[in-house]
Amino acid sequence: MAALFNKFQQAVGVLAKSTTFAKNPRQLQFEADINKLFMYTSYNRLGRKAEETDAEEIIEMAGKASLSEQQKQVQENIHYQVENFCSLMDGILLPDVRKQESVSQSTSPPRRRSGLTFAIGGNNAFPTSDKPLVPETKPLTLAEVSQRLMDQIGYTLEIKPSVIPHKDAGQGCFIKGEADVGTVLAFYPGVIYSPAFYRYIPGYPKVDSQNSYLITRYDGTVINAQPWGLGGESREAWTGSYKPAVKTDTKTAENGSDRLWKALSKPLEGSGKVKEVLERRNPLAFGHLANHPAKEMTPNVMICPYDFPLMEKDLRPYIPNVCFGDSGEVKMKRFGSFWFRTGGKNGLDAPVLKTLVLVATRALRDEELLLNYRLSNSKRRPDWYTPVNEEEDRRRWS
């Protein structure tokens, strides 16, 4: 397996420098990233019994497939893993309705509850727009769910002090257990904003002055993970509402710019839509806590855009994101068994949630997740930031 991975690594380096990529720097970097993700996630899907001919075929495909074809394959590879994760989470958290009905009959209660009542929970029999159905789940803590997930897939995430040697590193996100290259290790949780809704990001226009948990996809979609925090201990109707702490400098007088900022600022007061029922005990919803590597350290995960098809309602509780307005939903077309964005007029439309996941770029075991932040070199960067690849940073924000 190691020999096959070396082939992939060599191919990634060659194809990323190919002259067939777009000449526009930003588009070139986007295509290079998709190319890497195509190879990593396809390699992962081969499994540990992969043969050399399989690896060579994927490498050949990566060199010939168009960008749109690679994007479709990446989406399918990621969705395959997400489906498996969600199925395992259902097994961990959802009660056995048949067993409960059997107990109900044997104890002869005054009023027999149906399987449907058990499925949705007795206190949520009459949902409203303010109180959507919150299915009954097992009374497990986040820590217990995390351990059970690890028992089944061989890894989970844990939050503990970072090994990055600078004072601002704080907490880090660590894999506990082991995972192969191309594995979806984490979701990037939080509230999704399209460019049309930027002004609603808390603190606008200085959105990043007091929030280090913002991330931007290539298409301009912003995800604010600050409201998610460290998750929770239940399944609940969640809007992403929160009130960010406002830091003020008492040593200096407020100037005109500060007053303008406050006037333009509009704190988040909800998603603007019906609340989403999300599982806050999601052991993989910690992508926002991955740190940037220090000097002489190498990233071991990379960001991957994932357009979650909202028609997959059974999976929805485990996707830790909500939209502000309709910012995360875009129309997709169906091709075979999966949904993809397309400009064609044929096929059925389906909305998606424009999210992000973190994918392993090598085999990992009991170590901190390190993500290349690729901060813009056109602005002053923090003292702790050491570019992994200055050229990639430049292309990403060109």
Name every residue whose Cβ is closer than 8 Å to that of residue 240 and which is 6 or more positions away in sequence: 190, 191, 224, 227, 228, 268, 270, 271, 322, 324
Provide the pLDDT confidence category of residue 7 given band limits of 50, 70 and 90.
low
Structure tokens at 118: 């058990």
On the question of pLDDT at 284 being above 90, the answer is yes
Q: What is the mean pLDDT of residues 328-355?
A: 56
Domain coordinates of the chain in residue numbers? Answer: 24-91+136-244+255-383
218-227, 331-340, 350-359, range with the lowest pLDDT = 331-340
Expressed in angstroms, the distance from the first to the final Cα of the chain is: 37
- Say what the pLDDT of residue 347 is: 42
Identify which has the larger pLDDT, 152 or 274: 152
| pLDDT value for 239 | 86
- Helix orientation angle between 67-93 and 25-46, rounded to the nearest 10 degrees: 50
Q: Of 62-66, 90-94, 129-133, 348-352, which range is least confident?
A: 129-133
pLDDT tops 50 at residue 257 = no
Asked if residue 247 has pLDDT above 80, the reply is no
Using 50, 70 and 90 to split pLDDT, how confident is the model at 378? Answer: confident
Q: State the DSSP code for 210.
A: S
pLDDT band, very low/low/confident/very high, at 263 (cuts 50, 70, 90): very low
Return the SS3 of 357: strand
CB 59 within 8 A of CB 292: no
Q: What is the CA radius of gyration of the chain?
A: 22
pLDDT confidence bin for 207, thresholds 50/70/90: confident
Residue 21 is predicted with a pLDDT of 52
Q: Is residue 275 helix, strand or coil?
A: coil
Find the range with the poorest average confidence among 156-160, 174-178, 335-339: 335-339
Residue 301 to residues 33, 63, 357, 358, 363, Cα–Cα distance (Å): 12, 22, 10, 6, 10
User: E strands of 265-328, at which residues?
Assistant: 276-279, 301-309, 321-323
Homologous superfamily, domain 24-91+136-244+255-383: SET domain (2.170.270.10)
Give the C-alpha separation, 31 to 140, whole Å: 42
Bridge partners, residue 216, by sequence: 222
- Region 326-351: mean pLDDT is 51
Q: Is pLDDT above 60 for 265?
A: no
Threshold 0.85, pTM exceeds? no
Q: Which of 128-137, 220-229, 367-376 has the lowest mean pLDDT?
A: 128-137
Query: Which of 243-257, 280-294, 360-374 shows the lowest per-residue confidence on average (mean pLDDT)?
Result: 243-257
